[in-house]
Amino acid sequence: MITKIITAFVTGVFFTFFLDFFFILGLFLNYIKAQDIDIYYNVLFADHQNFFVFFILASLLGYLFIFFKNNKITVLVFFAALVLVNLTQIPSIGKSVGEMLFSKENQIITSGKQTFIGTLVYEGRNKIWFKDDELQKIIIIQKDSINE
């Protein structure tokens, strides 16, 4: 029984990574690249994993694939999830989801003697992409130069 539970979880992890790949790919193509944010897909994928949601989904999918007896429903649920995550491949949806996840409006950032007011477009590991309201363009600010 323990082996079957472990198999179910590993199977769920595999299928969850499959879904996650396409979800993040849509965000990468339709939000990150559209904003000219210079990061690699792998960094985006690794930095923006919600492990709580990931493990819940992995457990659910693992249960469906290993323990659930109705294969038609299992395939239907997975196909519906696949269609849902692939909606981020549509440019307008991918951009909207990216904005919901990554951008923060009405932010004030001080770097050295300069103060910027605008929208935080994306916060990376070492840099912040920020759209300044006054300049009307995206500026890149090193995180270590931001005044706390």
70-90 pLDDT per residue, tens: 889 999 999 999 999 999 999
User: How confident is residue 113, by pLDDT bands cut at 50, 70 and 90?
Assistant: confident
- Give pLDDT tens digits for 49-67: 889 999 999 999 999 999 9
DSSP-derived letter for residue 90 is: S
The 8-class DSSP code of residue 112 comes to: T
d(CA 107, CA 84): 31
How far apart CA 33 and CA 79 sit, in angstroms, is 27
Residue 32: what are its φ and ψ, rounded to 5°? Answer: -65, -55
The domain ranges of the chain are 2-100, 103-145
| Predicted pLDDT at 145 | 83
Entry pTM: 0.87
User: Using CA atoms, how far apart are residues 141 and 128, in angstroms rounded to an integer?
Assistant: 5
Average pLDDT over residues 4-27: 94
* Nearest partner of 73 among 84, 83, 87, 61, judged by Cα: 61
Taking the C-alpha atoms of residue 97 and residue 58, their distance in angstroms, rounded to an integer, is 22
Q: Check whether 92 has a pLDDT greater than 70.
A: yes
